[in-house]
Structures are given as structure tokens and as C-alpha cells.
């Protein structure tokens, strides 16, 4: 069985340093942490979480509170979860997915029973009535989002206003004078910060550029919701208009709609969507995209949890997206 001593030997550090890297209890240089994590991967080392819990009072588990229902776009969520689990595992931690419908009472019960050492919370609302209770739990916490009042909890977010700016500017550069912004089914544009900022800023930028802009929220989930946009898409194709799409799932349905209507993106209709660069490989016809950098957000969130476990105060972080023309 591989031990921490074996990892230390492979990384060229002391066994205590390996322990500090896994627990986050001491400041260690980034170069040393990377060396130790590399050795752990090469040796397939799995820390004994139960032993560490008994020794240091830590569970070795990070809780991730996330909405998992029929409206969840897994193509949007998966890049976050992959990196969270990888980064946590590199520190010798496990990840527990906590369905958002457990509510604050369920989360409070888990915290009081010491089931997790820290929590990362998705789907933050603009006015989120969970946050005051979560702040009272006094546990390392990072929010994915930018609420009006975070109650002192650390936030990591991508600049969704900038995403909207890049998307609309991209459509303008391609020649679109009239655009439609596709929002999220089941998510009120005023309820969630990302929807609020995306739709609001897109409309504002379009007005400055002299472009006609309409925000379309699918009336139902799935293919039928996008099918309701059929007449508008046909009209846009006749004037070489554009569409800005916020989710990968809506983009897939839009591309299918264009194929059914004989409309060729890039020739008849300009499209820009919010998705990661990696996701382009899965599309039947890649279109220009604004990458919301979920991997970077996830790394910052996990780093923030471990910083708090070390007793450090961390500041909010707003990350910049980037655009790729296709």
C-alpha cells in the first residue's frame, strides 16, 4: 500500500510537508504543492480520510450545493464539477453533492453533524434568502454568483456583463443589426444574477450600437421551447440578424432548428453562444463562443475553501471571460 512516506520520497519533501499540502494547515509554495500532487497522482495515493478526521477533527469532505433537476444543463454544470472534484482530490479531500432542494435546514443539519468541512454553493439568486442562515453556520463557504447581499460570504463569479458585451459586439462585428437574446427556461431573468446581467447588459449594449434587441425566454423546456422561436429565426435569417444564446442546451436546440429550416449559421444567421472552448468539439456546427471559464472559477472556489480552513480571509473574485470567433 502506498503511504504518505512514499509520496514524500517521490516529491523530494518531508512527510510533514505532504501532510500540510493535503490538510492546507500550513502555507506551502505553489511549486511544492504541485510537486506533491504530481507524486500523489503518479503513485495513485489515496489519503486515509477516516484517520485524518480522528487526528485533526476534519471530515476530509467538501459539500457542493447544486440544483439537480430536469432544468439543469449538464453541459454547463459538468466543467465545474470535474475541476472541483479534481482539485479537492489533489488535496486529499472528497466531494459530496448536496441537492439544493435539501434546503437550508438540510444543509444546517449536515454542518452540525460535521459531515463537511466547507461548502460551495451554486445557483445563487440576486435576493437569496439562504445566505443569512448559511453565514450563521460559520463554516468555510464560497458562493458561485454575485448576490446583492452576500452576508459576508466569499463569492467567485465570471463577469456576466462582460460576457454579454462580448456576445453582442461579436454579432455586431459580423454585421447583425437585429438580434435576439435567448434566456433560460425556468429561470426568471430578475431572479438569478447571471440571467439578470446577461439579458440586461445585452439589451443595453445593443441600444448603444443601434441594434434592435429582443430577449426571448423559452415558454417551455427542451425542443418545443426553442421551436417557439421558429418564425423569429426565419425573419432574422432574411436580414442576416443574430442570436446570442446563454446555455449549451439551448444552442443545440437552436442549431437543430436551423438545420430543419435550411438556415446555415454564419451564412444566413449569426450565432454566438456561452459555452466552453472544449464543448465546441461536441457541436455539429461550432459557432463563435464566449467561454465563461468554469474551470478557473472552480479552482478559485476550492482554493478559497482551503484558504478559509487555514484561517485566512479571502476576497471576492470576478473573473474575465474570453471570446473565440468560429
Which CATH code of 3.40.109.10, 3.30.70.100, 3.40.50.2300, 3.40.605.10 fits the domain covering 160-291?
Answer: 3.40.50.2300
pLDDT at residue 292 is higher than 70: yes
pLDDT band at residue 24 using 50, 70 and 90 as cut-offs: low
**CATH fold of the domain at 59-158+295-320:** Rossmann fold (3.40.50)
Q: Looking at residue 124, what is its pLDDT? A: 94
Residue predicted with more confidence, 209 or 3: 209
Domain edges within the chain: 1-46, 59-158+295-320, 160-291
Architecture of the structural domain at 1-46? Orthogonal Bundle (1.10)
Q: Are 41 and 33 in contact (CB under 8 A)?
A: no
pLDDT at residue 54 is higher than 50: no
pLDDT band at residue 46 using 50, 70 and 90 as cut-offs: low
CA atoms within 13 A on the CB side of 42: 12
pLDDT band at residue 72 using 50, 70 and 90 as cut-offs: confident
Mean pLDDT over 128-136 rounds to 94
| Mean pLDDT across the chain | 89
Residue predicted with more confidence, 233 or 31: 233
CA distance 84 to 78: 10
- Following DSSP, what letter does each residue of 239-303 receive, concatenated? TT-EEEESSHHHHHHHHHHHHHHT--BTTTBEEEEE--GGGGGG-SS--EEEE--HHHHHHHHHH
Q: Looking at residue 27, what is its pLDDT? A: 74
Q: What is the pLDDT of residues 79-96, one digit of tens each?
A: 999 999 999 999 889 999
Say which range, 4-18, 39-53, 98-112, has the weakest mean pLDDT: 39-53
β-bridge pairing 322-324 and 288-291: antiparallel
Q: Are 124 and 102 in contact (CB under 8 A)?
A: no
Q: Are 153 and 143 in contact (CB under 8 A)?
A: yes
Mean pLDDT over 106-112 rounds to 87
Phi-psi region of 266 (alpha: psi -120 to 50; beta: other; left: phi over 0): left
CA distance 94 to 85: 7
Q: Is the pTM of this model over 0.85?
A: no
Say which range, 54-63, 174-183, 234-243, has the weakest mean pLDDT: 54-63
Q: Are 324 and 317 in contact (CB under 8 A)?
A: no
Please tell me if the domain spanning 59-158+295-320 has the same topology as the one spanning 160-291: yes
Lookup: cell for 134: 448559511
Q: 156 CB contacts (<8 Å, ≥6 apart)?
A: 142, 143, 144, 297, 300, 301, 304, 316, 317, 319
pLDDT at residue 53 is higher than 80: no
pLDDT band at residue 57 using 50, 70 and 90 as cut-offs: low
Amino acid at each position: 500500500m502506498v503511504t504518505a512516506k512514499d509520496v514524500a520520497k517521490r516529491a523530494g519533501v518531508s512527510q510533514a510537508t505532504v501532510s500540510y499540502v493535503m490538510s492546507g494547515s500550513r502555507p506551502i509554495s505553489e511549486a511544492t504543492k504541485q510537486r506533491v500532487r504530481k507524486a500523489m497522482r503518479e503513485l495513485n495515493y489515496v489519503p486515509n480520510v477516516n484517520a485524518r478526521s480522528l487526528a485533526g477533527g476534519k471530515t476530509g469532505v467538501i459539500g457542493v450545493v447544486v440544483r439537480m433537476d430536469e432544468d439543469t444543463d449538464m453541459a454547463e454544470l459538468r466543467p465545474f464539477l470535474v475541476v472541483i472534484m479534481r482539485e479537492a482530490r489533489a488535496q486529499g479531500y472528497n466531494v459530496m453533492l448536496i441537492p439544493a432542494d435539501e434546503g437550508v435546514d438540510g444543509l444546517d443539519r449536515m454542518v452540525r453533524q460535521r459531515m463537511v468541512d466547507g461548502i460551495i454553493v451554486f445557483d445563487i439568486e440576486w435576493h437569496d434568502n439562504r445566505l443569512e442562515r448559511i453565514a450563521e453556520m460559520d463554516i468555510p463557504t464560497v458562493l458561485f454568483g454575485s448576490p446583492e447581499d452576500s452576508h459576508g460570504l466569499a463569492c467567485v463569479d465570471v463577469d456576466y456583463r462582460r460576457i454579454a458585451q462580448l456576445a453582442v459586439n461579436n454579432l455586431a462585428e459580423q454585421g447583425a443589426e437585429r438580434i435576439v437574446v435567448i434566456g433560460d427556461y425556468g429561470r426568471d431573468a430578475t431572479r438569478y444574477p447571471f440571467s439578470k446581467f446577461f439579458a440586461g447588459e445585452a439589451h443595453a449594449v445593443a441600444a448603444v450600437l443601434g441594434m434592435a434587441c429582443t430577449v426571448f425566454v423559452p415558454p417551455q423546456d427542451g425542443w418545443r421551447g426553442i421551436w417557439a422561436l421558429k418564425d423569429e429565426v426565419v425573419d432574422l435569417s432574411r436580414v442576416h440578424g443574430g442570436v446570442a444564446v446563454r446555455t449549451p442546451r439551448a444552442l443545440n436546440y437552436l442549431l437543430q432548428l436551423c438545420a430543419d429550416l435550411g438556415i446555415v449559421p454564419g451564412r444566413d444567421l449569426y450565432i454566438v453562444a456561452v459555452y466552453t472552448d472544449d464543448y465546441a468539439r461536441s457541436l455539429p456546427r461550432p459557432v463563435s463562443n464566449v467561454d465563461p471559464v468554469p474551470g478557473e472559477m472552480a479552482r478559485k472556489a476550492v482554493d478559497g475553501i482551503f484558504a478559509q480552513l487555514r484561517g485566512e480571509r479571502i476576497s471576492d473574485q470576478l473573473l474575465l471571460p474570453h471570446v473565440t470567433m468560429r
